[in-house]
Amino acid sequence: MNANDPFVLGGVSLTSRLFIGTGKYGADSLIPAVAEASGSQVITVAMRRVDKPAPQSGGSAPAQGSPGIMSHIPGHMRLLPNTSGARNAEEAVRLARLARAAGCGDWIKIEVISDTRHLLPDGYETAKATEILAKEGFTVLPYINADLYVARACAEAGAAAVMPLGAPIGTNRGLRTKEMIAILIEEMDLPVIVDAGIGRPSQACEAMEMGAAACLVNTAIASANDPVVMARAFGEAVQAGRNAWLAGAGFVRGMAGGAEASSPLTGFLR
Amino acid sequence: MKTFQDFLQNWPAQRRAEAVEKATEEQVFSVLNKNNLQPEDFLTLLSPAASPHLERMARRAHELTLRFFGRAVHIFTPLYISDVCTNQCRYCGFNAKNKQPRHHLSVDEAAAEARAIADLGFQHILLLTGDARHLSSPQYIADVARRIKPLFASVGIEVYSLTTDEYALLVDAGVDSMTMFQETYNPELYAWLHPAGPKRDYAFRLNAPQRAAEAGMRSMGVGALLGLESFEQDAFATGLHGWWLQRNYPGMDVSVSIPRICPHEGSFDVPHALDDRHLVQYVTALRCFLPRAGITCSSRESAFMRDHLLPLGVTRVSAGVSTAVGGRVTEDAHNPGQFEITDGRSLDEMTAALRGMGYQPVLKDWENPASAC
């Protein structure tokens, strides 16, 4: 973590540029250790998994020894509730409002997915939801395809950052959209947070080296044999990549500038 | 509109049988190295050529399950609200010919049973009824659903086939998921198994999931009762049904149930009783073919089998199951259930078992955006 290089998002200053998730763990009780090892300060949670008291439950209690997921999230972490399950803008907006009403704060990660085969986000509906929620005072982080036009639409709609996917969600395939992410980093004034598909710390490091503001990693940590050690690896990799970007990589001599030609094309100028 | 029934015409039984017979070991290996499987690939994994390679299939299925579902297992429980039935299905305990006391819960009784279930900690409930429109009408099911919806994150149904408008009525009442067992996809066998009652209409049942999807149902489960027809035929048709639903209704969550009939269940000898190896072959093939589909394993299976199927692809299990109507808080009618359960673990026992295996029991996995704020 680098206190001299804060990541300011939604008016909040963060020292870690790794965001983590809460899904797919063998036990929610792993979350505190994962969070600590990763150094992360932001954690996303699906509203569909968040317990809320049933209004007419007659005092129904969780199953014995089954505290809700929220009880495992360290108090110092900033919650990033997400709208998993929403298939259009209206549903995403409803879930965001529910999250705020449930005390999860004003940050919201917009997920609008109406294709359960590939789980690719719907850019048009995402931008619509972003506009509505930004006007309501949310800090909106839309999960999008690595698409410049969608990113711009979300920026115009009031997003605090954009979260392009590196590869289809859950695949651990790495930065398959690297070229497009590079364009977003180059073109967007908003922070670019690479979300989905990152499978290894080296890939997170690469995203940060490119100039991504942060990475969100869930499956790669949760599905590791040792999630805590993997979380630490990701935390270190993200920091290393960030440091590399700050340092400015040295010039890489490419093929065109490689060997000195014995008969240079511009020799006639001598 | 094209239906699954139309699509199934592309895969007549003869074509399926020939593909299964011709499948080779090399094709099995090739399929296991593919990312996106086609129906013919699924058939290859269901073939005898794949049978010696269950471990290889299991490893692939395990990896896909971890990737897309992690170590989280969804838990639900059924609530039977009526066993009055006008059908005469040869394999079912609710068969109208069976002379037994029948029980039908009033809306108040169903709500009381549901409250008892909610108090145990369940958040996903599945309502089941026999097929008796005169008593368990769509409106009655809707009334029960609307009443119990505040108690649960999700209310599902496993009831007789409905029209699109009737499914819409239930969606409006808060039902978000449905399960429909075709039992067998062989129309001739289906006719023999269902000699009387409205369930005799093969096509109306086959296309019910599509009507439910059109009505706005969020989640859909399909399944055959394994053992009625040869393994490859019904296993393939079931997976194909899930695949077709995913492709035509991409916004819907699709799951596949894997019940197998006991060798001496019903009023006949089960012609194609499924052994454990074939069940494992089915689960692993399903996971490879439908990586993101839920796979549901009911309490028909033993605790031993359910526990061992989890790493292979099963993502949804029931707990605290009773297949009889009432008995939790309403008067126990001592009626026999629809079928014998084998895994009688309570919710607490199931959650403890899952944790012991390194899995997270997920009691809540839905927040209906339509009713949120």
Q: What is residue A113's DSSP assignment?
A: B
What's the domain range around A229? 7-247
| Chain A interface disruption, residue of B36, B63, B354, B373, most A CBs within 10 A | B373
Asked if residue A93 belongs to a domain, the reply is: yes
| Record: contact A25-B72, CB cut-off 8 A | yes
Query: What percent of chain A shows pLDDT beyond 90?
Result: 59
Q: What is the pLDDT of residue A66?
A: 45
Which amino acid belongs to residue B355? R
Instruction: Work out the minimum CA distance from A197 to partner chain B, whole angstroms.
Output: 11
What's the domain range around B160? 4-362
Query: What percent of chain B shows pLDDT beyond 90?
Result: 78
CATH number for B17: 3.20.20.70
Asked if residue A262 belongs to a domain, the reply is: no
| Chain B interface disruption, residue of A117, A217, A221, most B CBs within 10 A | A117
Residues of A labelled catalytic: 109
User: Strand B253-257 vs strand B219-224: parallel, antiparallel, or unpaired?
Assistant: parallel
Asked if residue A256 belongs to a domain, the reply is: no
Q: Which residues of B touch A114 (CB under 8 A)?
A: 250-251
| Record: contact A54-B352, CB cut-off 8 A | no
Asked if residue A185 belongs to a domain, the reply is: yes
Which residue in chain B has the smallest CA separation from A100? Answer: B373
Q: Residue B238 pLDDT > 90, yes or no?
A: yes
Report the alpha-carbon distance of residue B317 to residue B299 in Å, rounded.
Answer: 8
Asked if residue A23 belongs to a domain, the reply is: yes
Q: Do residues B172 and B212 make contact, with C-beta atoms less than 8 angstroms apart?
A: no
Report the alpha-carbon distance of residue B220 to residue B213 in Å, rounded.
Answer: 8
List the 151-170 stretch of A: residues with Cβ below 8 A of B. Answer: 170
Report the alpha-carbon distance of residue B271 to residue A24 in Å, rounded.
Answer: 40
Q: Residue B265 pLDDT > 70, yes or no?
A: no
DSSP string, B103-165: -B--HHHHHHHHHHHHHHT--EEEEEE-S-TTTS-HHHHHHHHHHHGGG-SEEEEE-S---HH
| Record: contact A119-B292, CB cut-off 8 A | yes
Q: What is the pLDDT of residue B74?
A: 95
Q: What is the pLDDT of residue A103?
A: 85
Task: Report CA torsion sign: B352, B353, B355, B356.
Answer: positive
Q: What is the pLDDT of residue A177?
A: 93
Q: Chain A within 8 Å of B116 (Cβ-Cβ)?
A: no
Q: Chain B within 8 Å of A171 (Cβ-Cβ)?
A: yes
Instruction: Work out the minimum CA distance from A246 to partner chain B, whole angstroms.
Output: 33
Instruction: Work out the minimum CA distance from A200 to partner chain B, whole angstroms.
Output: 13
Q: Residue B32 pLDDT > 90, yes or no?
A: yes
Instruction: Work out the minimum CA distance from A26 to partner chain B, whole angstroms.
Output: 4
Where does the pLDDT of residue A67 fall: very low under 50, low under 70, confident under 90, or very high at 90 and above? low
> pLDDT tens for residues A164-207?
999 988 787 889 999 999 999 988 989 999 998 899 999 999 99
Burial B361-371 (b: 16+ CB within 10 A, else e): bbbbbbbbbee
Q: Do residues A142 and A164 make contact, with C-beta atoms less than 8 angstroms apart?
A: no
Q: How many domains does chain B have?
A: 1
Which residue in chain B has the smallest CA separation from A86? Answer: B369
Q: Chain B within 8 Å of A64 (Cβ-Cβ)?
A: yes
Burial B141-170 (b: 16+ CB within 10 A, else e): bbbbbbbbbebbbbbbbbbbbbeeebbbbb
Q: Do residues A97 and A124 make contact, with C-beta atoms less than 8 angstroms apart?
A: no
Burial class of residue B346 in the structure, from the number of CB atoms within 10 Å of its CB (0-12 exposed, 13-18 middle, 19+ buried) = middle
- A152-to-A128, A149, A159, A195, A246 alpha-carbon distances in Å: 12, 5, 9, 17, 25
- Work out the angle at residue A162's Cα, subtended by the Cα atoms of residues A156 and A166, and round it to the nearest 5 degrees: 140
Rama region for B321: left / alpha / beta (φ>0; ψ in -120 to 50; rest): beta
Q: How many domains does chain A have?
A: 1
- Work out the angle at residue B318's Cα, subtended by the Cα atoms of residues B316 and B324, and round it to the nearest 5 degrees: 150
| Record: contact A54-B152, CB cut-off 8 A | yes
DSSP string, B56-80: HHHHHHHHHHHHHHTTEEEEEEEEE
Q: Chain A within 8 Å of B35 (Cβ-Cβ)?
A: no
State CA B188 to chain mean position distance. Answer: 22
CATH number for A223: 3.20.20.70
Q: What is the pLDDT of residue A58?
A: 37
Q: Which residue in the set A91, A101, A219 is minimally distant from B369, CB to CB?
A: A91
| Record: contact B372-A97, CB cut-off 8 A | yes
Average pLDDT over residues A10-37: 90
> pLDDT tens for residues B307-365?
999 999 999 999 998 878 887 777 655 566 656 678 889 999 999 999 999 999 999 98
Burial class of residue B273 in the structure, from the number of CB atoms within 10 Å of its CB (0-12 exposed, 13-18 middle, 19+ buried) = middle
Asked if residue B348 belongs to a domain, the reply is: yes
| Record: contact B364-A95, CB cut-off 8 A | no
Q: Which residue in the set A24, A87, A117 is minimally distant from B70, CB to CB?
A: A24
Query: B107-120 vs B138-148: helix axis angle to the nearest 10?
Result: 40
Q: Do residues B250 and B293 make contact, with C-beta atoms less than 8 angstroms apart?
A: no
Asked if residue B367 belongs to a domain, the reply is: no
| Record: contact A26-B358, CB cut-off 8 A | yes
Mean pLDDT estimate for chain B:
91
Q: What is the pTM of this model?
A: 0.83
Q: Residue B213 pLDDT > 90, yes or no?
A: yes
Q: Do residues A234 and A226 make contact, with C-beta atoms less than 8 angstroms apart?
A: no
| Record: contact B373-A97, CB cut-off 8 A | yes
Instruction: Work out the minimum CA distance from B358 to partner chain A, whole angstroms.
Output: 5
Asked if residue B373 belongs to a domain, the reply is: no
Task: Report CA torsion sign: B82, B83, B86, B92.
Answer: positive
Asked if residue B370 belongs to a domain, the reply is: no
Asked if residue B369 belongs to a domain, the reply is: no
Where does the pLDDT of residue A266 fall: very low under 50, low under 70, confident under 90, or very high at 90 and above? low
| Record: contact B251-A116, CB cut-off 8 A | yes
Q: What is the pLDDT of residue A65?
A: 36
Binding-site residue numbers of A for 1-deoxy-D-xylulose 5-phosphate are 170, 196-197, 218-219
Asked if residue A267 belongs to a domain, the reply is: no
Q: Which residue in the set A57, A68, A85 is minimally distant from B369, CB to CB?
A: A85
Q: Specify which residues B124 forms β-bridges with.
A: B154
